[in-house]
Structure 1
Amino acid sequence: MFTSNRRPSQFGGVPLRFPPPEPISPIGEIYMATTTVDIRGRLGERSAIKVLHWEPGQPLTLSAEPGRVVVVAEPTGRWTIGASGYLSLPARLRRESHIGLTDRVLLLAAPDNDVLAVYSTAYVADALACRHPDLRAPKP
């Protein structure tokens, strides 16, 4: 750790201004990872599933809308975590969410809510562009 007996005013230069701290997430603790959807629809990343403490055979309910799939652990769920601990997205839900085979996706695990959200790259880019208009690509 760096310490000094000098007073800050002796350093000269421009004082650093830090941005205000980000507010605490409104959804509680979150864990994010990125992965690829393989040619069988399987997510190639298990860390988000491990954060949620979901084991192989865990019953799940999956729902889709354009840009995302939401996965919730429910005892009456129709789908499950596979024997090797991976989650596969059914073809119908991939179509509804516009998530294709070999696409990169963002996984967002919310352990406090026992929910996993799978976001398409286009969905994430659109959300960021809404918050940061300077990120939008110029129109030709």
Structure 2
Amino acid sequence: MTEAIISALLPPTDAHSPDRLPSTSRPNLGRPPLAELASLLPNPATYYGMGSIDASGRIANRTVVKALGWRTGDRLEFQVAGGVIVARPVPHGLATMWHAPYVAIPAPIRHLCGLRSGDRVFVVAHPAHQNLIVYTTPVLDQLLHDHHASLLPGDAQ
């Protein structure tokens, strides 16, 4: 039964079949026009992504970090507020961007936020403000729980 339904939807492939359409009767539509991606993004844009933390604290999301334009050797400062990590370049930063476009969260910051190797984080780059914001999964869970609770009163559990 399934074969009969599927075969009814597919055009015949036999070159000698009377039901086969001649190849000249198929219109060549070409490629659809594509919008310029740069024109669709606000300037400067905010970039979002997910990444894993490796054993050295490196965030595995090059695209978001690359959007900031930071370079190898840039000095970075890390601050933590409410379990959210904020990194930004400063001349007196205690951490160094050792290989662009990778940011490694220093061990004391990872321990403070309960991050371990393999943990997933949500990263947000703000090129205009030159900062990278890192949200841990527990922080995201709480933010989304609170947001959903405000949208659906009584369904917060």
Q: Does 1:77 align with 2:93?
A: yes
What is the TM-score normalised by the length of structure 2? 0.64
Match of 1:113 among 98, 112, 129: 129
Match of 1:58 among 54, 70, 74: 74
After superposition, the Cα gap between the structure-2 partners of 1:76 and 1:30, relative to the gap in structure 1 and judged at 3 Å, is: same
Offset from partner CA, 1:89-135 (integer Å, 9 cap, x none): 1111011122222100000111111010111011011111111125x
Bigger RCO (CA 8 Å, 6+ sep): 1
Percentage of matched positions with identical amino acids: 28
Give the AA of the match of 2:66. Answer: K
Larger relative helix fraction: 2
What is the TM-score normalised by the length of structure 1? 0.71
Offset from partner CA, 1:68-104 (integer Å, 9 cap, x none): 2110111221112113531111111011122222100
Partner of residue 60, structure 2: 44
Aligned counterparts of 1:85 and 1:116: Cα–Cα separation in 2:
12
Give structure 1 stretches of 5+ with no counterpart. Answer: 1-27
Q: Does 1:32 align with 2:32?
A: no
Are the equivalent residues in 1 in contact too, given 2:76–2:87 (CA < 8 A)? yes
Aligned counterparts of 2:79 and 2:90: Cα–Cα separation in 1:
13
RMSD of the TM alignment (CA)? 2.3
Aligned counterparts of 1:61 and 1:40: Cα–Cα separation in 2:
17
Q: Does 1:96 align with 2:112?
A: yes
Secondary structure class of the residue paired with 1:117: strand
What's the CA shift for 1:42? 1.2
Moved more, 104-113 or 42-51: 42-51
